[in-house]
Amino acid sequence: MTANGSGCIRDTVLVVRIENALSPVIVGNTSPVLCEGDSILLDAGDGYAGYQWSTGATTQHITVYGSGAYSVTVRDANGCTGVSQPFP
């Protein structure tokens, strides 16, 4: 509570908005089973302000050539982040 110049006391209201956590889902353009020499394009989805893949890439899409568990952290315009489940 704060007092104004005439001695009146008023409450200060603070409104807090909690955003839902970001939940990116990685989608591949082919089966996640790769043979030697194959590749797969992974897509983290559009609409995010930033991307950080477990490979170090910072784009919406990456192409991978080997087996492994790939994940991505995304960021929205407000700076909120979310991490995908590993692909595959």
Domain boundaries, the chain: 21-88
pLDDT band for position 12 (cuts 50, 70, 90): confident
pLDDT at 24 over 90: yes
pLDDT at 2 over 60: no
Q: Which residues contact 26 (CB under 8 A, 6 or more apart)?
A: 42, 43, 44, 70, 71, 72, 84, 85, 87
Regarding predicted confidence, which is higher, 50 or 23?
Answer: 50
- Which CATH architecture does the domain made up of 21-88 adopt? Sandwich (2.60)
| Exposure string over 34-58, b if 16+ CB within 10 A, otherwise e | beeeeebebbbbeebeebbbbeebe
pLDDT at 1 over 80: no
To the question of pTM greater than 0.75 for the whole model, the response is no
Q: Which residues contact 30 (CB under 8 A, 6 or more apart)?
A: 38, 40, 41
